[in-house]
Structure 1
Amino acid sequence: MPNSHHIEEFAGLPVAEFASWEGIRDDFDTAMRWAHNRGELHEELPPSYEPLFRALADPGSYAWRLRTVSPRYRRPFETLPEYLDRFTSLVPGKKLRALVVGNLVEDEDDMDAERVVGELVRRAGGWPEVRSLFFGEVLQQENEISWIDLCDLAPLVAAFPKLRRLVVRGGSRELGLRLPEHRWLRELTVESGGLRPEVVRDVCASDLPGLRSLELWLGDEDYGGGATPDDLAPLLSGGAFPKLEHLGLLNTRGADSWVAPLAGSEVLARVRSLGLDLGDLTDEGGRAIIEHAGAFAHLERLGLHHHFLSEDVQAGIRAALPGVDVNLSAPQEPEVYDHCDTTELHYYTVVSE
């Protein structure tokens, strides 16, 4: 499951986590070396801390994860501004290329996204070379994906004018992603257990003339999803994102219903790669791909990772698309529920709750 473990690489760089005081408070010697030596290397460092101190010696070669540990009923050692101030004092801002914003908490277990965005925007001028940003890299054991409360992220994106890659993870109840003109953004991914239709419409209405890759985790209506092809009309008609090369409608409940609209869309004829991964595609959707094979035949890659296709339908897709790299990995079996005299099959996405 993508949100079950922290990423180890982002934007082609290894990830280094900037530890909070809460994370090292039980290792007094390490904490004191950190405080008095400003991150310089020491031979006696415990092995678990050595990677972090090596990253501090070469900060531009790493993507930096900002994440604090909940104090859980104890007074925190430092506030969020103090944590970020310590980060800026130890990591030269002009060398930063990539940021991974994890679960930044203070005296609560849940992140206050609006407060975090405000603190990041306040410091963004000192990080002028940031090209890649992952906001909300929170694991399932920290918070269910649809319970990660987000906010309007347009001010954060605007604060990084050289941003090329943006990944957002979380619930979409308060999420705002109507982005004003951002000429440099090339890749946008929104990970959610249920992406609210209004957010989908806002993304499609954003002014992103250089966008080349768009991935939307549409998710499940039970967790805030429910987007339809009408919500993506500007995208499907080819009117949005003229340079788009890859489109992913991922983690989608009801993936079968998207095959025909995609096959008849203008955008499919333009892109080189299409992803329907992580969803609940069944033989109904697989047969629709075979029926509309001509619309998919120009693709270089078709992603169907995690599906409920029978072996016959998988073989049919491969035969209908001989020139396409089709990813049919991770076949699944539906869950079976017996109710009195009836049997119900349940098809599921990779990430929900």
Structure 2
Amino acid sequence: MADSQFSLADAIVPSLFAPYVQQLTTETDRFINSGIVTNDPSLGAQLLSPSDFITMPFTNDLEGEPESWTDTNDISVAGLTTGKQRAFKFRQVKAFGFTDISGLVSGANPQEVIATRFGNYWVRVNQKVLLQELAGIFANTDIATAKLFDDSANSFGARGFLATIAKMGDLQDQTFSKIAVHSATYAQMKAQQMIDVVQPGQAVGPFGNYNGMEIVVDDQVPLDDNVATSYIFGTGSVGFSVASPQNGVEVEREARKNGGRTNIINRRVMATHVLGTSVAKDFTPAGQTVTADELALGTTWESVVDPRNIRIAAYKSKIDSDFVPKKRAQSSSTSTSTTDSSKASTPAA
């Protein structure tokens, strides 16, 4: 958004702040920018309507064998078959706040920090939701049988990669265009000289290509001990949309709280959906909305079409421990926060 239309001086004017955050989210989301996730109007049109789910009808391809053409038999007429897939609506809210004293002590402008970083916060949430969905989808037995190649005893390599895309059958050379990997997998790929194009000193952008596929590197991609799951995507394999409801952004002033505190509250409704899958017919969330744990269950999902038409495949491979990032040792001390609102929990999904 151009400076003439928006500036940080009026960053928390709700009518400006909501679209600003949505635009910033889109601009910085590498899954959206890579073409893995695409804006889906059919999702967006239903986000603010009643119901906890989005329903997307589809028409199956034409099927059946041709008949012999004679003048003794009537021609049979086959009908079209249809189906529908269900997607979750994620109703999410996050509040960040700052005390009057925090600004005086730190010398920073807390309102400016919140305004400029709220978009990046939602990017991380978007990516987490997508990866939680993928974990559940590939935990579904039918989908995993068709679309997951588990080679976790062996290192990431050309053979395992080819075995993974072979899950698409005769569509394997027409479907995939992107591969999302953990940074540890990416480091191993570089060590094995598997990257098609790596510019010295600029390897982080772009990340290069592997077998003609653009590489997307994100540390939210699963890495369990030394076993990494890489996802191979077709363009437009995931639909996405986000909407700001009434009172989507509010600024709350609590004059007596902590000596004076200002809270910025952002509400939104979001959908991200792997096309070709559906929320299982018999799934009902335990609470008011689906949780992260429920998203990652195979029983939450089902395939509504031939699994080959799900344009994502998963590849599990072993990663050399030298490339696995080391975790920082936990300290017994705890840091303090300038506001209680920073303790607000991350949206469940």
TM-score, structure 2 as length reference: 0.23
| Greater Cα radius of gyration, structure 1 or 2 | 2
Q: Which has the higher contact order (CA 8 A, sep 6+)?
A: 2
